[in-house]
Amino acid sequence: MRLLVTGSRGQLGRALERLAPRFGHGFVGVDLPELDITDAAALRAAVDDAGPDAIVNCAAFTAVDAAEGDETQALAVNGTAVATLAEAADRCGAVLLQISTDYVFDGTARGPIREDQPTNPQSAYGRSKLAGEVAAALARRHLIVRTAWLYGEGANFVGAIRRQLDGGSRTLLVVADQIGCPTYAEDLADGLLRLLAAGAAGVVHAVNSGSTTWCGFAREIVRLLGAEAEVVPVTTGEMPRPARRPAYSVLDTSRLQALLGTPLPPWQDALGRHLRAGR
């Protein structure tokens, strides 16, 4: 299979590039500054040049707070450009794999969220990603994968905690009233490639097994690093941000397990592997 991966220099794009050869796949990566996916003509040309069997769209406007002040640009990247990809995928007969997010939900659920539960984004970022889901579904062959709390090689929560510890911080204030599923880019990439091999279609939730709060996540990072630091729980209200975060966004992965025969590994195991890899 020949893969075209947009946003190839991001956390997930890099993981896909590392894993693609293990599945016998060819890999073509595109990203800024060489390609701006909001340039429809350039995007169509990139797809035509690559001649892919599958397009994995990892490109996204991911600055959640910045999107509140620039929803137009967030929608152009996360929504409108996906419609162009859907059209291009149909033209070359490729499947479009669109990466989406837990932010399409409003955070009021009281149990793991299934793929068929109603969406209700509460932020500009969430609205733009939901628009991307709608656009991706226009492709004749499409797979929409929602994930959450992603980390890997690049800027992310794990790296932010490490930098604070390396900078000498011994008290970390971390939100304790948001619950979700930390997800390792390497495990997600492996899951995506297996979903493609299985011919999966429609919407699938893919996160590492288990759930925690950001505070619990931070405490496990500190523990695994053997650092001497106290993680102090605070509320979302005590650390206000421009964009509203889902208070509860644990994604149900029953469909993923049915398709692959196994869930993604526990988040604690994944975090340990990430820290040992030193990325």
pLDDT digits over 146-195, tens only? 999 999 999 999 999 999 999 999 999 999 999 999 999 999 999 999 99
Instruction: Note whether residue 50 is domain-resident.
Output: yes
Instruction: Note whether residue 66 is domain-resident.
Output: yes
Instruction: Give the catalytic positions in this structure.
Output: 125
Give first-to-last CA distance, the chain, whole Å. 27
Report the distance separating Cα 107 and Cα 252, nearest Å. 14
Q: Which residue is listed with tokens 């709060």?
A: 213
Instruction: Note whether residue 134 is domain-resident.
Output: yes
Number of neighbours of residue 72 by Cβ within 10 angstroms: 11
For 10, the domain range is: 2-155+182-207+252-257
Instruction: Note whether residue 82 is domain-resident.
Output: yes
Q: For residue 96, what is the domain's CATH number?
A: 3.40.50.720
42 close to 63: Cβ distance less than 8 angstroms: no
Percent of the chain with pLDDT over 90: 99
pLDDT number for residue 71: 98
Question: Omega before 33 cis (within 30°)?
Answer: yes
Q: What average pLDDT is seen over the chain?
A: 97
| Composition of the chain by helix, strand, coil, percent to 5 | 45, 20, 35
Q: How many domains, in total, are found in the chain?
A: 1
Instruction: Note whether residue 90 is domain-resident.
Output: yes
Instruction: Note whether residue 223 is domain-resident.
Output: no
Instruction: Note whether residue 213 is domain-resident.
Output: no
pLDDT number for residue 278: 80
In terms of Cβ atoms closer than 10 Å to its own Cβ (0-12, 13-18, 19+), residue 227 is middle
Instruction: Note whether residue 168 is domain-resident.
Output: no
